[in-house]
Amino acid sequence: MKYLFLLLTLILSSTTIDSQSSNEKFNDPTVDIDKRVGDLISKMTLEEKASQLMFDSPAVPRLGVRKYNWWNECLHGIARNGKATVFPQAIGLAATFDTDLMHRIGIAISDEGRAKYNANKKVDYMDRYAGLTYWSPNVNLFRDPRWGRGQETYGEDPHLISRMGVSFVNGLQGDGEVLKVAAMAKHYAVHSGPEKLRHVFDAVVSDHDLWNTYLPAFEALVTEADVEGVMGAYNRTNGQVCNAHSYLMRDVLREKWKFDGYFVSDCWAIQDFYQGHMIAKSKEEAAAIALNMGCNLNCGNTYPAIVESINQGFTTEEEVDKNLKQVMLTRFKLGLFDPEGSVSFDNIGTEVVRSKEHIDLTYEAARKSIVMLKNDGVLPLSPDMRNVFVTGPMAANAQALLANYYGISPNLRTILEGIADNVSDHTAIRYVQGSLMDRPNVNPMDWYSEEAEVADVTIACMGITQLLEGEEGEAIASPTFGDREYINLPPHQIEFLKLMRSKAKKLIVVITGGSAISSPEVHEMADAILYAWYPGEQGGQAVGDLIYGKASPSGKLPVTFVKTIDDLPPYEDYNMKNRTYRYLDKEPLYPFGFGLSYADIHLTNLKCNKKKFKKNQKLKLTFDVKNNSDIDAEEVVQVYVRKTNKSETDTNFDLRSFKRVSVKANSDQKIEIELDQKAFSKYTEKGDLKLEKGIYDIFIGTSLPTERSTALGATAALSTQVTVK
C-alpha cells in the first residue's frame, strides 16, 4: 500500500510538472524560436544540458522535456522500424535520373515517418529509429567500385548526386511551417572507403579535387535544400579528423555556406579520436575536441564525459550552451515543443504506411531504375513462349531486393515471382537455383543444365547481395569488411553461366548488385543483360514486366563499369586521376549514363541561342526527341560539356543537365534545356566558383558521348560549340 501511494504521488507530481511546463515560454509557438531555445537552456543544469548532446537524449521530467533518440534512417524508405515501403536502393534511384520521382519518394517516406512517429508517441515509444531526425541521404561520391557502401550513394557524378539529393531532401523536409522530418547530408567529407580502415584512415586530396569533386553535393544540399543535419565521416581528411575539422566544419560549412542546422558525429566516431586516429589521450579530451569544434551531437558514448572535461579544463559550459542551441533548434523546428495537435503533421495516420500509392511508387522507381546493358533482339519475350527456365542464386532471393538500411515489407516480389506473373497459363516455367551466391556448390552434381537445353529461353539471375558488399558490420559473407576485392561476378557464377551458355538456346542474364559488376565474359555470353541493382520490394515484378515488354527499359548507369580492376588506381588513393568518367583514361565496359531501350529513339534538330556566352547569361538548347518505333518509351537526355583545350586538371566531360522524357510510339517531342554559367565554371582552390573562358563542346545524347556508347547501341549524340568570354 505504501508503494502504491508513492507511485500515485509520482504520477500526480509528473502530471503537475507537465502542466506547469506547458506554460513555459519555450512551449509557446508564438515566441521567437531563438528565445524559446534560450529559455529552455537557461532552465537546465549543466548535467541536463550535457545529457541532451547525446543521440539518445534522456527526458528532463521537471521541465516536461521528453526523451528523444536522434538516430533514424530512411535511405530508401523508413529503415529498421517495422513495416514500411521499401524503395530501390539509392544507387538504383540514381539510375532513374528522375528528380521529380526522387521528390515524390521523399514525400512518401516523410509521410510514413510522421505516421510512425505519431503512432509511437501515443504508446510512449521513443527509442532508436522512432524519431523524426533521419540520417539520410548519403551524398558521398562513389569514386571506386570496390567500396561496399557505394550502393548508398547517387553515383560518381557531382551534378547527378546534387540534383537527386536536393530533390530527395526537399521532399523529406517539406515546405510547411515546421519541418516535416529533418534530413541529413552525410558523410562529411571525402569518404568512400576502405571500410576496414575508416576508423584510422587519412583521405588525402588536393584542393582542386576537394572542391570540384567531393564537396559540390554537400554544398548543394546546404545552400539549396537547407538540409537540417550534417554528419561527419569516420576518417580524417588531409590530416584532421572529420568530426573536429576546423576547415571543413567552421571555414566551409558554417562560414562559407552559412549552415544553420546541427552537426552529428558518425556513430562512435569520436571514440576513434583516442582509439584509432590517436589525436586524444582520453575520452574527456576527445569529447572536448569535438565539442569545441562544433560537433553538436554525439552518436556514441563519449559526450557523457563532458562534465568531467569541463572539470579538467578541456572545455567550458559556454561551449556546451553553444552546441546545445544548435541541437535544440532542430527539435523546435520539428514542432516537438509545440502544443499537442497544433502541428498539421500530427494528423498523419498509419494508413499512409505501405499505402497503394506508395507501393505503386516503389514499383515505378524499380521499373525506371533497371538498366538494359545488352539486347541482341531476344527481348522482350512473348508471354506465350512454351518453355522458360529460370535459374541462379538471385531468382528467388528476397535479400537481393533489400540492400542495406531497409524496412520490412510483407509483400516482397522476387524476380522469379515477377517472371512467373508474366507467362501464359500454358507456359512450362521451371526453376532450379543451380548456383550458390558466394561460393562454389559443395555438391557438384548437375541437375540443371538439361533444363536449359530443352527450354526456349534461360533466364539466369546472378549477382550479389548486401551480405557480400555493404557496411563492415552487415556484410557477414564478406571476407573484406564489406568491400570487394574483385569487381566482376564471383568466378563460380561465371563458370555456371558458361555451362548455361553451352546448353541454352537463348540466354538472358539479370544481375543484382549495388556497384559496377564488370564481367566482359558475361557481355560476350549473354543475348541480353538487365542490371537490376537492389530494386526494392516490387523489384522482381518490375524485372518480370520489363522482360515481357509491359514497359521499355529506361534506367541509366550512374557509375562507370570499367573492364577490369587493373584499370583503376589503388583503392586507398583519393586522387581523381583516372577515376570516374570525368577523368578515366581507359575505355570502359559500359560508360556512365548508358542504358538501352526497346524503342528506336533519335535526337535531332539541335539549336543553340548563342555562339558566344558571357557571365550571368543563359544558354538555351532546343532539340527534338523522336520515337521511330511502335513502343511507348521513356528516355533520359543528357547534356555534357567539354573544354576543347583542356588543362591537366580539366575533366574529359561534365554532366551539366539531364531530363527524363516520355515519348509515345511514332511521335516526337521538342525539348528545351537551359545552361547557366555554372556549366562553364570551375572551383578555385579556395572554393570559389569561377567562370572559365574558352571554347566548349556541348553534347546532347542518351549516354556519355563516346565511341564506346554508340558501339553498344546508344543513340549518337548531337553537338554544338560555344565560346565563353
| Full DSSP string of 414-452 | -HHHHHHTTS-TT-EEEEE--S-SSS--SS---SSHHHH
Question: By the 8 A CB rule, do 488 and 494 touch?
Answer: yes
* Strand pairing category for 601-608 and 507-512: unpaired
Rounded-to-10 torsion of CA 601, 605, 611, 616 = -60
Question: By the 8 A CB rule, do 29 and 333 touch?
Answer: no
* Strand pairing category for 694-701 and 718-724: antiparallel
| Full DSSP string of 333-349 | HTTTTSPTT-SGGGG--
* Strand pairing category for 633-643 and 654-663: antiparallel
Rg (alpha carbons) of the chain, rounded to whole number: 27
- CA dist 398 and 393 (Å) reads 10
Burial 142-152 (b: 16+ CB within 10 A, else e): bbbbbbbbbbb
- CA dist 150 and 209 (Å) reads 19
HEC assignment per residue over 365-404: HHHHHCEEEEECCCCCCCCCCCEEEEECCCCCCCHHHHCC
- CA dist 635 and 572 (Å) reads 36
| Full DSSP string of 241-269 | ETTS-IIIIIIIIIIIS---SEEEPPTTT
Question: By the 8 A CB rule, do 289 and 256 touch?
Answer: no
Per 3-state DSSP, the chain is made up of helix, strand and coil in percentages (nearest 5) of 35, 20, 45
275 by DSSP, 3-state: which? helix
- CA dist 84 and 537 (Å) reads 10
In Å, how far are 286, 309, 321, 523 from 317, measured between CA atoms? Answer: 16, 10, 6, 63
Question: By the 8 A CB rule, do 625 and 668 touch?
Answer: yes
- Whether the bond between 187 and the residue before it is cis, its omega within 30 degrees of 0, is yes
* 266 tagged catalytic: yes
Q: Of all helices (H) and strands (E), which one includes residue 310?
A: helix 306-311
Q: Determine which one of 266, 272, 483, 527 is catalytic.
A: 266
Q: Cβ atoms within 10 A of the Cβ of 247, count?
A: 15
Please measure the distance between the N-terminal and C-terminal CA atoms of the chain and give it in whole angstroms: 88
Which residues are catalytically annotated? 266
